[in-house]
Amino acid sequence: MVEPTLLGGKVRALRRRENMTQGQLAERLGISPSYLNLIENNRRPLTAPMLIKLAQLFQLDLSTFSASDDARTISDLREVFGDPLFDQHGLTTNDLKEFATSTPAIAKAVLSLYQVYRSARESAEAMAERMSGGEGLPGMDSSRLPSEEVSDLIQRHMNYFPELEDAADEVRARARIDGEDVYRSLVRWLGSEHGVEVRLLRVGDERKAMRRYEPEQKLLSLSELLPPRSRRFQLAHQVGLIAANDVIDRLLRDEESLSTPESRALARVAMANYFAGALLMPYGPMYEAARAERYDIELLAHRFGTSFEQVCHRLTSMRRPSAEGVPFHFLRIDIAGNISKRFSGSGIRFARFNGACPRWAVHAAFLTPGMIRVQLSRMPDGTRYFCVARTVRNDRGGYHAPHAMQSVGLGCEARFARELVYADGIDVENDEAVVPVGVTCRLCEHHDCEQRVFPPLQHPLKVDENVRGVSFFGPVPKR
């Protein structure tokens, strides 16, 4: 439930957006300007009837007043002010909460400013590396990476796009897809409906492209290196770009957060991937199968002819109000710990500016390639999560081809764990089974972590040269 005392900043921002004075808005709400002033300064609660009036007045969905956006902003601010640059200022979590809720626009501007600062610092470091003989990466501006903007877009929509679900269902019906041979069904439909020829290319001919579409020739080429499940997915992806092009354009037309052509192009790829997942794993059958098989990812992958990672992606999109699945979060990293994909449907917070906690199961999965790891964890705020993780390997190639390995993690709040087959035999209420984890070292309060690499934000570094604790940055043990 949203705390009413935290909504004053939202009311003020909406009023200013509409160029209204306090007197004008107060008159529309049937209250005095002085009372509205108290509301905007969080000194009076925003009642339910008044909340409904505001939603009607500004033609907004009530979810606009949800605290989830504030929570994400507060989490990002905590990470930003966890930079040693701000150590001397002694800011507390309550300071950041008040800042984010009273002036949300300024709070987001600070986040953007910090991103620019980080980009400038990284560019300077790259320049220094190049001048000293290192390679560096000229021209890189990470202040507004396209991948970050697209991740934020997906997060705002909670990874559920009903328009793409409907478009995928329409194509399935029109193409009369045979569940036993989805690939041939789609090839036939592309040819008859859109005049597109699909062909497989040999290794020597494919010029490193796994998929290539030439609109003028209406020719779609797929590499023979793609395993069947990937071949089906790439085919479905291109079907989305062709058959659902107008739907994707409508979805992205008003997304002002996509600030560059690269961001919009990447967003189109993300939307086509969503369409492909919806086409190969239609919502109704996938939802029923997931519940019946208790979210057994490998079993679902066999049933729908998809990969482990594709099933994980699809499970995070089960957000239909009338048939909502377990709210999952999803994470994909490489062996160096770089996060390439993230989505939080469970409420867990991911690091945006720093490395993720090394205690997460998604890191440990690299120790046992191909095996599923399970973990019951507890964040510093006390929330428990149940997570599964496994490595996935890029098997597109022959004997001499490099095989890139990544790890994907899927998790939910521990209260949903019993709905997952992976929780069988695990006592989710057992405190001794819980692994304390954090978001990043600077924000984590677990002092006794043997993998800590930075001191926690709220506790200054204390060093005793004669005593060594569990970690160099951990508290000095008392006698």
pLDDT band at 479 (very low <50, low <70, confident <90, very high): low
Mean pLDDT taken over the chain: 83
What DSSP string describes 73-110? HHHHHHHHTTSGGGGGG---HHHHHHHHHH-HHHHHHH
Whether 389 and 421 map to the same domain: the answer is yes
Whether 397 and 456 map to the same domain: the answer is no
Q: Is residue 186 part of a domain?
A: yes
> Phi, psi (5° rounding) for residue 136?
70, 175
Whether 467 and 428 map to the same domain: the answer is no
Give the CA radius of gyration of the chain: 25
Give the domain-ending residue among 247, 280, 313.
280
Q: Is the pLDDT of residue 265 over 90?
A: yes
Distance CA(109)–CA(52), nearest Å, equals 29
Distance CA(3)–CA(312), nearest Å, equals 33
Whether 169 and 239 map to the same domain: the answer is yes
**Which tokens in the block code for residue 106?**
């300024």
Predicted confidence (pLDDT) per residue in 114-125, tens digit: 777 776 766 665
Tell me, what's the pLDDT at 67? Answer: 55
Count structural domains, the chain.
4
pLDDT band at 46 (very low <50, low <70, confident <90, very high): confident
Q: Is residue 68 part of a domain?
A: yes
Cβ-count burial 347-359 (b if 16+ within 10 Å, e if not)? ebbbbbebbbbbb
Distance CA(447)–CA(474), nearest Å, equals 5
In this structure, the number of other CB atoms found within 10 A of the CB of residue 431 comes to: 9
| Average pLDDT over every residue of 240-245 | 96
| Average pLDDT over every residue of 31-42 | 84
**Which tokens in the block code for residue 414?**
């521990």
**Which tokens in the block code for residue 49?**
């009837």
Whether 341 and 414 map to the same domain: the answer is yes
Distance CA(152)–CA(141), nearest Å, equals 18
Q: Is residue 77 part of a domain?
A: yes
**Which tokens in the block code for residue 74?**
């507060």
From the list 394, 225, 433, the residue with the least C-alpha distance to 307 is 394
Give the domain-ending residue among 58, 88, 104.
104
Tell me, what's the pLDDT at 352? Answer: 73
Tell me, what's the pLDDT at 137? Answer: 42
Whether 273 and 177 map to the same domain: the answer is yes
Tell me, what's the pLDDT at 138? Answer: 43
Tell me, what's the pLDDT at 283? Answer: 97
Q: Which residue is associated with the tokens 């192009």?
A: 265
Whether 346 and 414 map to the same domain: the answer is yes
Whether 167 and 274 map to the same domain: the answer is yes
Whether 466 and 416 map to the same domain: the answer is no
pLDDT band at 281 (very low <50, low <70, confident <90, very high): very high
Q: Is residue 42 part of a domain?
A: yes
Q: Is residue 318 part of a domain?
A: no
Q: Is the pLDDT of residue 274 over 60?
A: yes
| CATH number where 332 lies | 3.30.450
Tell me, what's the pLDDT at 395? Answer: 67
pLDDT band at 286 (very low <50, low <70, confident <90, very high): very high
Look at the chain and count its residues: 479
Amino acid code (one letter) for 366: F
Whether 412 and 466 map to the same domain: the answer is no
| CATH number where 228 lies | 1.10.10
Q: Is the pLDDT of residue 136 over 60?
A: no
Tell me, what's the pLDDT at 134? Answer: 47
Could you tell me the CA-to-CA distances from 343 to 274, 340, 349, 352, 415 in Å, in that order? Answer: 13, 11, 9, 12, 19
Distance CA(131)–CA(193), nearest Å, equals 56
Distance CA(360)–CA(439), nearest Å, equals 9
Distance CA(59)–CA(180), nearest Å, equals 47
Claim: this prediction has a pTM higher than 0.75: no
Distance CA(270)–CA(148), nearest Å, equals 12
| Average pLDDT over every residue of 311-317 | 97
Tell me, what's the pLDDT at 4? Answer: 42
Q: Are the C-beta atoms of residues 342 and 384 closer than 8 Å to each other?
A: no
Q: Which domain holds residue 168?
A: 162-280
Whether 31 and 62 map to the same domain: the answer is yes
Predicted confidence (pLDDT) per residue in 194-217, tens digit: 999 999 988 765 556 789 999 999
From the list 41, 153, 54, the residue with the least C-alpha distance to 101 is 41
Tell me, what's the pLDDT at 128? Answer: 56
In a 13 Å sphere around the CA of 223, the CA atoms on its Cβ side amount to 18
| Average pLDDT over every residue of 138-142 | 43
More confident residue, 67 or 405: 405
More confident residue, 44 or 93: 44
Q: Is the pLDDT of residue 257 over 90?
A: no
3-12, 92-101, 164-173, 437-446: least confident range: 3-12
Whether 463 and 430 map to the same domain: the answer is no
Predicted confidence (pLDDT) per residue in 331-389, tens digit: 999 998 888 899 999 888 887 766 778 889 999 999 999 999 999 999 888 899 999 99
Q: Is residue 157 part of a domain?
A: no
56-60, 236-240, 419-423: least confident range: 56-60
Q: Is residue 287 part of a domain?
A: no
**Which tokens in the block code for residue 276?**
């492909």
Share of the chain above pLDDT 90, in %: 44
Element (H, E) at 339: strand 339-344
| CATH number where 97 lies | 1.10.260.40
Distance CA(404)–CA(394), nearest Å, equals 5
95-99, 173-177, 345-349, 457-461: least confident range: 457-461
| Diameter over CA atoms, the chain | 80
Q: Is residue 270 part of a domain?
A: yes
Tell me, what's the pLDDT at 118? Answer: 72
- Ramachandran class of 69: left when φ > 0, alpha when ψ lies in -120 to 50, beta otherwise: alpha
Share of the chain above pLDDT 70, in %: 81
Element (H, E) at 189: helix 182-194
Q: Are the C-beta atoms of residues 387 and 409 closer than 8 Å to each other?
A: yes
In this structure, the number of other CB atoms found within 10 A of the CB of residue 368 comes to: 12
Q: Is the pLDDT of residue 390 over 70?
A: yes
